Amino acid sequence: MTLTLVLVVIAVALAFEYINGFHDTANSIATVVATKVLSPGQAVLLAACTNLLGAMWGTAVAKTIASGLIDTGVVAMTPEILICALLGATIWDLITWWLGLPSSSSHALVGGLCGAALAAAGDNWQSIVWSVPADHWWHAKGVLNKVILPMFVSPLAGFIIGFLVMGLLFAVLSFLNGLGGAATRATRPRTVNAVFGKLQIASSGFMGFSHGMNDAQKTMGIIALALAGATTAGSLDGLPSWLHFLHVPTDAHGQFGIAIWIKVVCALTMAAGTMIGGWRIIRTLGHKMVKLHPVNGVAADITASGVIITASVLGLPVSTTHNVSSAIMGVGAAKSFSAIRWTVVERMVWAWLLTLPVAGGLAWLLVRGLQLLGWHQP
């Protein structure tokens, strides 16, 4: 493993993070832009700051990506393999971004890792850590426990909780309206929009924090995995003193920490990506799927961020896209199931289901291409 290849991995990983910024961070600010509480520029600035704070909070998801999905005893995740994994995920992200579909960068990355590892191991399925049981389900490892199960459970939870939160808010507003006098005046649409417009700035910030806490950590895990491998292989020996920060030592159990500089660089890169191209997906979530008002936006933000932060604490690399989308659907359904444009939802669901296998297949093909060229052998 040469230093040049390690630096290429870092560059490709940051390119993926940049694309994640305009692909997934757009989801975290979709509601506050769609409800016109903040302009896109103001929302991006809010997302950039809160993403940075969230990215600095915990490393459970990064460690799952780095050491909980691929069995490095079966296949060595060399820089070439990591690059193929990242490229497979990036290609699928760009395709869905161009189509305006809010697919999952998280699942694209997991699919890319699994597809690349599978090809590198000569199609040995044991290279993927499928399931490692533990005393408690939240400590269990493997793709089934950490990715597949949460992929279905977290959006379902987002839909149900969003429906209940919005229903509760409707009930409170209806109760106040029935009291008469000042309480009734407080439930007028203009007043409700003004109050919840202010609240949505806070809820959107909370959403950005949760996004940084989960999504930014995924690329951190890839960079830390590459640097840890390079440190172990001795590829970083002899570096000048000012580059010693690249060393990521591991303990006897193969565990390693996530350096502060990795967190900051990933968070800033994601924020930069948000500023460039997030509007396509904001438009799909905030305008095409269901019409949102500030009260709906607050309910959706609270729901999605609560689910994502819970998952982050448990080390589950869940999809911001899935959770924001399902929360918006739940909030819309509380108003009326007919308020949701189900044709848009159908397109999104297909993108969700295809992300893991397609990103994995692309990464598999890229590794196979390297092998045919003689650059990598299983």
Q: What is the pLDDT of residues 350-370, one digit of tens each?
A: 777 888 999 999 999 999 998
Q: 267 in a domain, yes or no?
A: yes
The residue-averaged pLDDT of 244-260 equals 68
| Cα 69 versus chain centre, distance | 16
pLDDT of 28 > 90? The answer is no
pLDDT category at 291 given cuts 50, 70, 90 is low
Rounded Cα distance between 105 and 19, Å, is 9
The residue-averaged pLDDT of 162-184 equals 84
Q: Which residue has the higher pLDDT, 177 or 70?
A: 70
pLDDT of 172 > 70? The answer is yes
Rounded Cα distance between 305 and 320, Å, is 9
**Domain residues for 294?**
3-372
Q: Which residues pair with 132 in a beta bridge?
A: 141
145's CB contacts (< 8 A; 6+ apart) are 131, 132, 137
Q: What are phi and psi of 141, to 5 degrees?
A: -115, 175
Domain count, the chain: 1
Q: Torsion angle, CA of 197/310/18/40, rounded to 10 degrees?
A: 0
pLDDT category at 286 given cuts 50, 70, 90 is very low
pLDDT of 183 > 90? The answer is no
What percent of the chain shows pLDDT beyond 70?
86
305: its two tokens: 């961020």
The confidence score (pLDDT) of residue 336 equals: 76
The confidence score (pLDDT) of residue 255 equals: 61
The confidence score (pLDDT) of residue 119 equals: 93
Q: What is the pLDDT of residues 159-170, one digit of tens each?
A: 999 999 999 988
Q: 23 in a domain, yes or no?
A: yes
pLDDT of 299 > 50? The answer is yes
Q: Which residue has the higher pLDDT, 359 or 65?
A: 359
What percent of the chain shows pLDDT beyond 90?
14
Q: Which residue has the higher pLDDT, 156 or 284?
A: 156
Alpha helices in 246-341 (DSSP H): 260-277, 279-283, 294-313, 320-335
Q: 77 in a domain, yes or no?
A: yes
- Specify whether the CB–CB gap between 282 and 40 falls below 8 A: yes
Q: 107 in a domain, yes or no?
A: yes
The confidence score (pLDDT) of residue 339 equals: 65
Q: 228 in a domain, yes or no?
A: yes
The residue-averaged pLDDT of 78-107 equals 83
DSSP conformation class of 72? T
Report the length, in residues, of the chain. Answer: 378
Q: 378 in a domain, yes or no?
A: no
- Specify whether the CB–CB gap between 108 and 89 falls below 8 A: yes
The confidence score (pLDDT) of residue 162 equals: 92
Q: Which residue has the higher pLDDT, 218 or 288?
A: 218
| Cα 121 versus chain centre, distance | 27
pLDDT of 115 > 80? The answer is yes
pLDDT of 70 > 70? The answer is yes
Q: 377 in a domain, yes or no?
A: no
pLDDT category at 196 given cuts 50, 70, 90 is confident
Q: What counts of helices (H) and strands (E) characterise the chain?
A: 16, 0
Q: 323 in a domain, yes or no?
A: yes
Least confident of 72-86, 154-168, 233-247, 321-335: 233-247
The confidence score (pLDDT) of residue 111 equals: 93
Amino acid occupying residue 224: A
Rounded Cα distance between 13 and 130, Å, is 24
Does the pTM of the predicted model rise above 0.75? Answer: yes
- Specify whether the CB–CB gap between 157 and 316 falls below 8 A: no
- Specify whether the CB–CB gap between 298 and 51 falls below 8 A: no
Rounded Cα distance between 358 and 102, Å, is 15
pLDDT of 132 > 90? The answer is no
